[in-house]
Amino acid sequence: MSTSKVIKIDIAHILKTRAPKSKVPKFIVNYLRRIVHEEELNQFFYENPDLKNLDFIEAAFKYLKMSVSIEGKENLPPKDGRYIFACNHPLGGLDGIAAGYLIGKEYDGKVRFFSNDLLMFLHPMKEMFIPVNKFGNQAKGHAEMMQQLYESDNHLVTFPAGMCSRKVKGKIVDLEWKKNFITKSVQYQRDVVPIYFEGRNSNFFYNLAKIRKFLGIKFNVEMMYLPDEMFKQRGKHFTLKIGKPIPWQTFDKKKSQAEWAVWVKDKVYKMA
């Protein structure tokens, strides 16, 4: 085993790097270590140093005793095309990895999916990730990288909401779907495949989000608990539902691109 390849999460080091002039109390560091599951994740990384991409995901599912399956596989378009898979985002990370895994298995690994740039520490999967920086300006050359990506033969999995679902009037739903995937569908002539992922986070997560919003706190505090939410999914089975592909020519001038995004979102939730 090559120890040089082993990822290691070090919350204390991350805090020191991000806030070098601040002294974070030890009890807060220990609390963050617990909700991030630092020890458990590091043990998993240590035991699987040489795995990457789909093999790494398979090992993670086995570790979490999770299983995933596809419903509506007959709707998957031919392998010789180039597609954008538009998905709801109930879990905030685990659903993205699962969707990327299932679609990657169907399309010989030729899949990339958009993710928060904080997940880029998962080096075994960095070839599959498309970083989306939600905490600052995009890195130089990002636009060029995106152009190359959309022009490539890889199929793309996107979560147009940009953040995981919240509880709204008792239902777990995405917030607004951004129109960018419609824009790129037309620009690069990629058909859109609607997909629906069944799943939800804990009531604690949704209640925390409501409290944070009520208090007017802009920082997405609940996002810190996503690793803990992932471990709460241990032992569960998830289903990814595939809808019929939507030709890129559908998105004409009859609706604005924002309205087409709402239209596709509605299609996704009708598969629930």
Provide the pLDDT confidence category of residue 133 given band limits of 50, 70 and 90: low
Judged against a pLDDT cut of 80, whether residue 6 lies above it is answered with: no
Cβ atoms of residues 85 and 77 within 8 Å: no
Tell me the C-alpha distance between 263 and 115, whole Å: 23
pLDDT of residue 135: 44
pLDDT of residue 176: 96
Cβ atoms of residues 218 and 163 within 8 Å: no
Average pLDDT on 244-256 reads 97
Domain map (residue ranges) of the chain: 1-50, 51-270
Tell me the C-alpha distance between 65 and 49, whole Å: 19
| pLDDT tens digits, one per residue of 56-99 | 999 999 999 999 999 999 999 999 899 999 999 999 888 988 99
Domain 51-270 of CATH type 3.30.1360 = no
**Tokens 């505090």 identify what position?**
221
Task: Give every strand in the sheet of 237-242, ordered side by side.
Answer: 67-71, 237-242, 191-197, 83-87, 155-158, 111-116, 129-132
- For residue 158 the two structure tokens come to 């996107």
Tell me the C-alpha distance between 205 and 227, whole Å: 11
For 81-90, 127-136, 162-171, which range has the lowest pLDDT when averaged over its residues?
A: 127-136
Rg (C-alpha) for the chain, rounded Å, is: 19
